[in-house]
Amino acid sequence: MIHIADIMAYSLAKEIKNGEIFLQGLSSPLPMLAAHIAKKFLAPDATYINVADSIDPDTQKLPASTADVLLTHRPVAFSDLYSAFDLAQRGKLGMIFLGAAQVDKYGNTNLSVIGDYHKPKVRLPGGAASSFLCAIAQRTVLWLTNQSNKIFVDKVDFITGQGYLSGGDSRKNSCLSGAGPAKIVTNLAVYDFEPVTKNMRLFSLHPGVSIEKVKENTGFELIIGQNIPITEEPPAEILEFINKIDPDGVRKSGVNDIRLEKH
């Protein structure tokens, strides 16, 4: 059986546009794999920047860390991470992959605190790049390895990364220059945003996942249309590449494949 991590990585890879510049951040094994899939099969003319300070490396094996020296093997160039921020400021960073501890129905993300900001239940790592880049990157693609109704919440406890704010035209009418989140890929499904309300919308269901399972693990009302498609699985050639570049299964780390749960 194909693991959900393989489907997630392929879904993320398909969000990379040929010819654009995109950034993969820290602690991001699935976006790291997606970048290599896209460069080899889907978007060869995209420019891949990673936090190991290399551009378009010829990685032979995925490392456990997304800042590992293995991600600097035969790159076309080296570039300090701050240069990616400069690219974003100039409107030239096409896309960034981001994770989060909470995501709300308008795609706002939280990596700061759970609970009240001044007296939090949990103090999280902080926004790092997200608070800056969500505002100005051309678009963001979010990924979550274990969707639940504690992560997909009606309203985040703190906005670290800006999505569509309060929905509708609120982002468009703000000072934010980036277009906002394009897709969210989780271990259950792929989501996008309804164009007018900017409310999160179910885009596709991963194989073996039901709409009921998605609803059970979502803390707000999703927009769910008719005839929701099944998320495309990676074709054999790409699956072979995934297993070759990631023989240790780094991509599966933390990914909850609910199809394997005992009932």
Return the SS3 of 136.
Answer: helix
Lowest mean pLDDT among 76-85, 144-153, 193-202: 76-85
Report CA 34 to chain centroid distance, whole Å: 10
Residue 49: the pLDDT is: 96
Residue 1: the pLDDT is: 80
The CA-based angle 216-220-223, given to 5 degrees, is: 95
pLDDT class of 262 with cuts at 50, 70, 90: low
Residue 126: the pLDDT is: 87
The CA-based angle 200-157-174, given to 5 degrees, is: 60
* Mean pLDDT along residues 248-260: 92
At 21, give phi and psi (nearest 5°): -100, 130
Q: Report the distance separating Cα 252 and Cα 75, nearest Å.
A: 26
At 152-207, the pLDDT tens digits run 999 999 999 999 999 999 999 999 999 999 999 999 999 999 999 999 999 999 99
Residue 122: the pLDDT is: 95
At 16-25, the pLDDT tens digits run 999 999 999 8
Residue 263: the pLDDT is: 44
At 162, give phi and psi (nearest 5°): -80, 125
Alpha-carbon distances, residue 178 vs 4, 43, 66, 168, 175 (angstroms): 30, 22, 25, 15, 9
Q: Report the distance separating Cα 23 and Cα 167, nearest Å.
A: 26
Contact 191, 184 (CB under 8 A): yes
Query: Domain spans of the chain?
Result: 4-252
Architecture (CATH level 2) of domain 4-252: 3-Layer(aba) Sandwich (3.40)
At 108-128, the pLDDT tens digits run 999 999 999 999 999 998 887
User: Does position 233 have pLDDT exceeding 60, yes or no?
Assistant: yes
Angle, helices 236-245/29-37, rounded to nearest 10 degrees:
130
* Mean pLDDT along residues 18-40: 96
Percent over 90 (pLDDT), the chain: 92
Q: Report the distance separating Cα 130 and Cα 128, nearest Å.
A: 6
At 209-219, the pLDDT tens digits run 999 999 999 99
At 129-141, the pLDDT tens digits run 888 999 999 999 9
Structure tokens given for 248: 């240790």
